[in-house]
Amino acid sequence: MKSILKGFGAALSVALPLLMQASAAAAATSSAFDPALVQRGAYLAKAGDCAACHTAPKGKPFAGGLPMNTPMGQIYTTNITPDSQTGIGGYTEQDFARAMREGVAKDGHNLYPAMPYPSYAKVNDDDMKALYAYFMSGVAPVQQANREADIAWPMNMRWPLKLWNMVFLEKGVYQNKPGKDVAWNRGAYLIQGLGHCGSCHTPRGIAFQEKALDESGSAFLTGSLLDGWFATNLTGEHNVGLGRWNDQDLQAFLKTGANRHATAFGSMTSVINNSTQALNDTDIAAMTTYLKSLPPAGGNGAPPYTYDPQATKVSLNRPANDAGARVYTAYCMHCHGVDGRGFAPMLAPLAGNPNVLEKDASSLINVTLNGTEDLVIGGIPAPYPMPKYAPVLTDQQIADVLTFVRAGWNNGAPAVTAADVTKLRKSTQAAR
């Protein structure tokens, strides 16, 4: 017994100083960052919407594990807490900046471009330093191992990403555009960089690259299908873009997720919940200035939308003659109204809604099937979230009602088929 205690004491005499040194090192690392810099980094992490991707449902903040669908298969976001074993606790500031801007982890492996490093490449050095300070000192470490991607060989090999970066990655931080004012440049920096709006709202090419990274490309922010949702056109296009939105409309949407034209759904809900509502008024105004400066691009080629309720009103007065009108009167009319104008911003309008006018109906099908998560503004959930109708309505009924809505109130958008609904129902069920 004495020998056991003696051995334990000897081990403790060796281990205790090491533990104390490790604790002191951790404390020194934590205290090495200016609190103001950490606070600035926390704000920038909100602007970058880092929590939305790196926090799984019911998971711990920034511990990763959120599944993301790609054309090659499902991948899982990584642990970006300062845990030294499973997170980024061992990253130097240079390691951190390289991962952010070039998509290369500390051990040298390439990250998939689902991580928006082509956008983060534009983040300036001061902001990168603040972000590093926050993730090293302002985030609680979580020991949670990263999960391997569900991508079969040989598509799971990472070395081709080096070639991808050589072709598609544009290095260099954002440079202010001459002839543009402070607000425009600040907005461009946030939209193109930390906000990485193009990651969802810009169409991608055959190699999964964004077809444009700024306003110099005609495809920039013209809308894109991603993970079962069609991310809206953000240019000045009249029908499906922001052409009919004034500055106050856009600012209200970024702060609350709703305005007189539309309501956020799908992945945009998490952007509002985790990111844009936390931004200060100056940055929201700057983002608005930049977005409203973009000329019309993309769109459906239809004449400018004008509201006309007459034909739809007749159909709703005699719904027995129209399968879509029957479903609308039973399930939709109490929220969206006979006039299709809803009760904005509480309940979204359907007449002239850019998402309704969009030729790709994926978002409408998805939100009708699966509903949407609550918008939570200032800690208060929205009172009337869109319910899911997948258990209630057949694919044909959903096709009928969406065809009715897309034709109603002079919307003039293409019909939806039952096959369209069946396809998206299967893909969203598989993703869940």
- Asked if residue 196 belongs to a known ligand binding site, the reply is no
Q: Which residue stretches of the chain have pLDDT < 70?
A: 1-31, 155, 431-432
Contact 345, 259 (CB under 8 A): yes
Residue 75, H or E segment: strand 73-76
Cα separation, 364 vs 367, whole angstroms: 5
**Predicted pLDDT of residue 31:** 55
Strand partners, 110: 104
Answer yes or no: CATH 1.10.760 is held by domain 32-143.
yes
**CATH homologous superfamily of domain 310-431?**
Cytochrome c-like domain (1.10.760.10)
For position 301, what pLDDT does the model report? Answer: 84
Would you state the pLDDT for residue 25? 39
Q: What pLDDT is recorded for position 24?
A: 40
Q: Is 197 annotated as a binding residue?
A: yes
238 is in an annotated binding site: no
H/E stretch holding 231 reads strand 229-231
Q: What is the pLDDT at residue 179?
A: 96
In this predicted structure, what is the pLDDT of residue 16? Answer: 43
pLDDT of residue 69: 75
Find tokens 């929205």 and name the residue. 382
DSSP H or E segment with residue 225: strand 224-226
Whole-model pTM: value is: 0.89
Choose among 186, 217, 188, 191: nearest CA to 204. Answer: 217
CA pseudo-torsion sign 76, 365, 409, 345:
negative
The answer to whether residues 158 and 149 touch, using CB atoms and an 8 Å cutoff, is: no
Residue 49 region, left (φ>0) first, then alpha (ψ -120 to 50), else beta? left
Q: Which residues in the chain are classed under CATH 1.10.760.10?
A: 310-431
Question: Is 228:424 a contact under the CB 8 Å cutoff?
Answer: yes
Tell me what pLDDT residue 45 has.
98
CA distances from 146 to 66, 79, 135, 386 (A): 10, 6, 17, 33
